[in-house]
């Protein structure tokens, strides 16, 4: 039994808490698309740079620096999605022992550490972005301003942190 879902019905379901917040889902989708596009550009740039280097003896000027920017953008754009799905890379070395001692609060403690870590990293990125803006820091080869990529990474950390905080808040309810 499926009902037709209109925008009004979706809004009502969202208001009653039966559907996840559509704005956060849209933001996750936008960041997922940004990450995918950056990864694709990085792949094409690497392919063309290698072709140019080995077949025409003419690599793309600044390709390594561009790839560094694209890699940082790809990773940090995907970070909120990883946080939303709670699919971080984890080492389960101590998990069995910890869950025996504190089975109910294990996930809460892990997510609190994640929130604190993301907060520290996000604040540090913002501090670095502010310093880069004040000193007009640029990349070595292409002379691109560093402030934008550093600020983007910090913003993605704060979005991932907000997702973790939301998870903690919902798990307590």
Under 8 Å between Cβ of 142 and 65: yes
What is the percent of the chain where pLDDT is above 70? Answer: 87
Inter-CA distances, 137 with 72, 109, 121, 132, Å: 17, 38, 20, 5
Is the pTM here over 0.85, yes or no?
no
- Spatial distance between the Cα atoms of 147 and 121, rounded to a whole number of angstroms: 15
- pLDDT tens for 32-88 read 999 999 999 999 999 999 999 999 999 999 999 999 999 999 999 999 988 888 777
- Spatial distance between the Cα atoms of 42 and 144, rounded to a whole number of angstroms: 17
Reported as a pLDDT band with limits 50, 70 and 90, residue 21 is: low
Helix (H, G, I), strand (E, B) or coil at 82: helix
CA angle 114/87/156 to nearest 5° reads: 55
| Domain residue ranges of the chain, discontinuous segments joined by + | 7-172
Under 8 Å between Cβ of 31 and 162: no
28 has pLDDT over 90: no
CA proximity to 47, closest of 69, 67, 32, 77: 67
6 has pLDDT over 60: no
For 97-123, what is the mean pLDDT? 88
């Amino acid at each position: 039994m499926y009902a037709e879902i209109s925008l009004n019905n979706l809004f009502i379901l969202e208001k009653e808490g039966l559907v996840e917040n559509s704005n956060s889902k849209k933001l996750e989708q936008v960041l997922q698309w940004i990450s995918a596009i950056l990864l694709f550009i990085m792949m094409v740039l690497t392919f063309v740079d290698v072709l140019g280097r080995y077949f025409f003896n003419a690599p793309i000027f600044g390709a390594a620096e561009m790839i560094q920017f694209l890699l940082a953008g790809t990773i940090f754009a995907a970070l909120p999605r990883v946080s939303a799905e709670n699919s971080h890379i984890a080492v389960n070395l101590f998990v069995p022992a910890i869950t025996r001692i504190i089975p109910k609060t294990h996930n809460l403690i892990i997510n609190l550490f994640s929130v604190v870590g993301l907060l520290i990293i996000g604040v540090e990125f913002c501090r670095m972005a502010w310093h880069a803006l004040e000193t007009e820091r640029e990349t070595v080869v292409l002379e691109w301003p560093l402030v934008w990529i550093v600020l983007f990474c910090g913003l993605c950390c704060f979005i991932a942190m907000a997702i973790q905080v939301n998870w903690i808040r919902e798990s307590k309810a």
